[in-house]
């Protein structure tokens, strides 16, 4: 056999090996969890961690900044295969990103994995962007968590992001369309009532017409909730002195005969007219017609891990708690009602809850 034939045969073998490597990578890619399956896996991991008090980390590898996106993803799949533990799980976060869940692993362990993967990349192939997420974190109690970054020790130089906002669920198109249509129509139709209520508040109780309070919404995002003012101007400063009279267990604060409420405010609250300005919150997307009621930021931060899952969806004007007893149920049961809604929301359920809200308001059930 001539030297030229040997060279040609060697080139064919190399090409064949390369093709086999590509096929192997494609097979590994097909075995990855799909976006939906990986999200479900993360949900199960969170539920298990909440139940056992455990923790876990997630490494995100993104190639969306790379021109050879598909080639980089395939190489990433091959590289990851040799660095994962039997307990680790890999899947697709989106079209351009892969995620690796590391049970019971620290953020430092997660960054070690990211570094090992980076060391095995060839010089001619751009490195994927890496982020490390941690669960659980104190994401509602510090400014960095609001930006998606969790607190970390001063000695730890690499950033660690809060995983909790990743669980936020997209609002279905049907739900947003219903919200915008109903909120816009309601604000227009109720304009005369709003003017009358505003004038009445001004006449009977000195101070602003509206009460604004920071609440915690979907994914931990803060927003200002708007209500007609039903209490005296310095109601918030008086709250601490009334804590021993709190009739609601858990972090929430409720008093049936709250001395801070004005005479007009009692009527506004009994008829839920004070809540109607929140249609503006619905219109701009801070809230929905139906969803878990948004808690004040300090109350949301005081909730247990499992209770904070209600922040996966946009909060609402009404939900199961509003039509099934309100203050007559415990705080834990209130949270369970919200979570049952979160996991089973549908157009039919939303319409039923809206219809049940009317008699609940008229007859003041549980308020």
User: In terms of domains, do 122 and 219 share one?
Assistant: no
Does residue 331 belong to any structural domain of this protein? yes
Does residue 8 belong to any structural domain of this protein? no
* Helix, coil or strand: residue 157: coil
Does residue 229 belong to any structural domain of this protein? yes
**Please, are residues 25 and 18 in contact by the beta-carbon 8 Å criterion?**
no
Domain end among 140, 167, 194: 167
Domain end among 167, 188, 205: 167
Please state, as a whole number, how many other Cβ atoms lie within 10 Å of the Cβ of residue 200.
15
User: In terms of domains, do 163 and 194 share one?
Assistant: no
Question: Is the per-residue pLDDT at 325 higher than 70?
Answer: no
Does residue 60 belong to any structural domain of this protein? yes
* Helix, coil or strand: residue 296: strand
Name the more confident of 46 and 242.
Answer: 46
Global pTM value? 0.82
Rg of the chain on CA atoms, in Å = 27
pLDDT (mean) for 286-302? 95
**Please, are residues 337 and 324 in contact by the beta-carbon 8 Å criterion?**
yes
pLDDT (mean) for 20-47? 73
- In the block, residue with structure tokens 């510090």: 142
pLDDT given for residue 31 in this prediction: 65
User: In terms of domains, do 223 and 117 share one?
Assistant: no
Alpha helices, DSSP H only, in the chain? 3-31, 35-52, 69-81, 107-119, 143-146, 173-189, 191-204, 235-238, 263-270, 278-284, 297-301, 320-323, 331-342, 347-363
User: In terms of domains, do 193 and 331 share one?
Assistant: yes
Expressed in percent and rounded to 5, the helix, strand and coil fractions of the chain are 50, 15, 35
Does residue 35 belong to any structural domain of this protein? yes
pLDDT tens column, 72-116: 777 788 888 778 888 899 998 988 888 999 999 999 999 999 998
User: In terms of domains, do 77 and 199 share one?
Assistant: no
Q: What is the CATH classification number for the domain harbouring 35?
A: 3.30.70.270
What does 4-38 look like in DSSP terms, one character per residue?
HHHHHHHHHHHHHHHHHHHHHHHHHHHHSBPHHHH
User: In terms of domains, do 96 and 241 share one?
Assistant: no
For 313, which DSSP code? S
pLDDT given for residue 313 in this prediction: 97
Q: Indicate the pairing of strand 129-135 with strand 161-162.
A: parallel
Q: Helices H, strands E: what count in the chain?
A: 14, 9
Bridge-partner residues for 134, per DSSP? 57, 162
Question: Is the per-residue pLDDT at 319 higher than 80?
Answer: yes
Q: State which residues form the domain around 68.
A: 22-167
Q: How confident is the model at residue 237 (pLDDT cuts 50, 70, 90)?
A: confident
Does residue 3 belong to any structural domain of this protein? no
pLDDT given for residue 146 in this prediction: 43
User: In terms of domains, do 136 and 197 share one?
Assistant: no
Domain end among 123, 142, 167: 167
User: In terms of domains, do 184 and 151 share one?
Assistant: no
For the chain, how many structural domains are there in total?
2
């Amino acid at each position: 056999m001539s030297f030229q034939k040997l060279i040609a045969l060697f080139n064919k073998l190399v090409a064949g090996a390369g093709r086999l490597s590509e096929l192997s990578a494609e097979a590994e890619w097909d075995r990855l969890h799909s976006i939906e399956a990986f999200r479900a896996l993360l949900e199960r991991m969170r539920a298990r961690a909440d139940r056992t008090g455990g923790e876990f980390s997630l490494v995100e590898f993104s190639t969306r900044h790379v021109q050879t996106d598909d080639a980089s993803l395939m190489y990433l799949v091959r590289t990851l295969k040799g660095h994962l533990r039997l307990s680790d799980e890999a899947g697709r976060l989106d079209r351009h990103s892969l995620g690796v869940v590391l049970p019971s692993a620290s953020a430092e362990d997660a960054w070690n994995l990211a570094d090992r993967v980076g060391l095995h990349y060839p010089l001619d192939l751009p490195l994927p962007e890496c982020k490390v997420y941690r669960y659980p974190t104190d994401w509602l109690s510090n400014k960095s968590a609001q930006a998606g970054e969790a607190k970390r020790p001063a000695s730890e130089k690499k950033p660690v992001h809060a995983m909790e906002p990743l669980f936020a669920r997209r609002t279905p198109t049907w739900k947003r369309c219903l919200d915008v249509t109903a909120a816009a129509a309601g604000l227009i139709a109720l304009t005369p009532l709003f003017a009358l209520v505003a004038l009445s508040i001004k006449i009977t109780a000195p101070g602003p017409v509206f009460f604004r309070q920071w609440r915690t919404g979907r994914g931990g995002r803060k927003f200002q909730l708007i209500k007609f003012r039903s209490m005296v101007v310095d109601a918030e400063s008086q709250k601490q002195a009334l804590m021993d009279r709190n009739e609601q267990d858990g972090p929430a604060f409720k008093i049936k005969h709250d001395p801070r409420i004005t005479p007009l405010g009692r009527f506004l609250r009994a008829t839920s007219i004070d809540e109607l300005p929140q249609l503006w919150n619905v219109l701009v997307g801070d809230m929905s017609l139906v969803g878990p009621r948004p808690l004040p930021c300090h109350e949301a931060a005081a909730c247990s891990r499992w209770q904070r899952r209600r922040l996966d969806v946009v909060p609402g004007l009404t939900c199961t708690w509003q039509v099934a007893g309100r203050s007559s149920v415990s705080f834990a049961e209130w949270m369970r009602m919200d979570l049952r809604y979160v996991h089973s929301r549908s157009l039919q359920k939303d319409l039923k809850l809206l219809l049940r809200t009317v008699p609940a308001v008229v007859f003041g059930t549980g308020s």
